[in-house]
Structure 1
Amino acid sequence: MKKLFLAAFAVFAFASVSAQDGDSSSALTKGSWLVEANTGFGGGATGAAHRSTTSFGLTSIDGTTIWSIGGEAGYFVMDDLAIKLGLGYNDFDGASSFSYKLGAKYYIASQFPVQLDFTGASGDDVFGDESPLWLGIQGGYAWFVADNISIEPGLRYNHSLNEDFTDEGVLELNIGFALHF
């Protein structure tokens, strides 16, 4: 796990000191679209409980395999501010759930994305009678490798809004890949 965090930190540090290869100004303007796929690392045992995600992930804990697939899309309602919607499918060693996310993403100085969102999930035989809900906040760096493609490493915290399900938060390291139209 330490090697994973060290590698992620190295990627983030490299992205932070590298010059922007593309011009992000046209990609983040009012009326443009964003399509994004994320990977999520971290969370440990709590992360297994948080499998209401719209990212790509694979976790194996004590012989139980959990995987997820999903994506997000957004529309820029003003320069640097996108309203986003995400959908995901999660498999808990044979039991499945669907996840949804609604939020907003703002690019500070057209380079540092900050996101606030609401995430939930539903699924038979996964959560029992509970419907997990999370409030997420995320920050990172948008490295534009082309005019319409960005790699966005970031740090995310999910706060549980349903204490009957879990009262623990989840800290994750994400690497996002976004297309801007």
Structure 2
Amino acid sequence: MKKLLLVAALLSLSVNGFAALLTQGTSEISVSGVWDFRSINKRLIDAEIFYGYFIMDQIEVGPRASFTDDDLHRAWSIGVAGEFNFDLSELEIVPEIVPFVGASLSVAGASLEIPTTEEEKQDDNGLNLGLEGGVKFFITDNLAISTSLSVDACTGKIYADEGELKNTDSRLNIGMRYYF
């Protein structure tokens, strides 16, 4: 019985430890890569960095920048993003798992070398709106691995999709997040 109480006490401490990281005043650095579902060229480099600051418990905002290159398609974006993190600790669910939803607004541009009916190289840019939903898996008190599904829509046609230029994109993100 004493061992059971000790385990329960340790688990309750871990719940408070993980929940404390998502409180007002905490900062986050996030670095992620992307596996694109339908890239034109099978080799894809896609990196994104985000600095978030928790303005309220569970709510963070901050700047986000990304860069994509797969030899034929080069794209960039810079803007702001926000996330809401769901606190499941009171539901007695595993405290290391934190679901989240997010949104971003950015200026984005692309240089595309794709044979089209208009010309072989196109440059475009526009305003980009992104929506994201995913899960953070805390592996230590201040380090989490995240995975999410994101959908983006842009006023310009900047996304390469199976040989066509489109203004929407969906992808699976995998990243690392550090809290301090």
Same fold per superposition (TM over 0.5): yes
**2:169 paired residue number:** 170
Q: Which runs of 5+ in 2 are unaligned?
A: 1-13, 89-97, 114-120, 160-164
**2:101 paired residue number:** 114
Q: Secondary structure at 1:25's aligned position in 2?
A: helix
Say if 1:155 and 1:140 are closer, same or farther in 2 by CA, change over 3 A: same
TM-score normalised by structure 2 residue count:
0.66
Say if 1:161 and 1:27 are closer, same or farther in 2 by CA, change over 3 A: same
Which structure would you say has the larger Rg?
A: 2
Q: What letter matches 2:26 in structure 1?
A: S
Q: CA offset at residue 170 of structure 1?
A: 1.4
The separation in 2 between residues aligned to 1:27 and 1:76, in whole angstroms, is 9
Say if 1:174 and 1:123 are closer, same or farther in 2 by CA, change over 3 A: closer
The separation in 1 between residues aligned to 2:61 and 2:158, in whole angstroms, is 29
Does residue 75 of structure 1 match 2:53?
Answer: yes
Q: CA offset at residue 80 of structure 1?
A: 0.6
Do the aligned residues in 1 keep the contact of 2:108 with 2:126 (CA within 8 Å)?
A: yes
TM-score normalised by structure 1 residue count:
0.66
The separation in 2 between residues aligned to 1:123 and 1:150, in whole angstroms, is 31
The separation in 2 between residues aligned to 1:86 and 1:164, in whole angstroms, is 18
**2:83 paired residue number:** 105
Do the aligned residues in 2 keep the contact of 1:137 with 1:158 (CA within 8 Å)?
A: yes
Structure whose residues are more often strand by fraction: 2
Do the aligned residues in 2 keep the contact of 1:113 with 1:142 (CA within 8 Å)?
A: yes
**1:180 paired residue number:** 179
The separation in 1 between residues aligned to 2:169 and 2:23, in whole angstroms, is 32
Q: CA offset at residue 41 of structure 1?
A: 1.4
Q: What letter matches 2:172 in structure 1?
A: L
**1:55 paired residue number:** none
Question: What pairs up with 1:129-144 in 2 under 5 angstroms?
Answer: 130-144=124-138
**1:145 paired residue number:** 139
Q: What letter matches 1:176 in structure 2?
A: G
Say if 1:88 and 1:154 are closer, same or farther in 2 by CA, change over 3 A: closer
Aligned equivalent of 1:88, options 66, 71, 76 = 66
Does residue 40 of structure 1 match 2:34?
Answer: yes
Q: Secondary structure at 1:131's aligned position in 2?
A: strand
The separation in 1 between residues aligned to 2:77 and 2:27, in whole angstroms, is 21
Q: State the number of aligned residues.
A: 145
Q: Secondary structure at 1:24's aligned position in 2?
A: helix
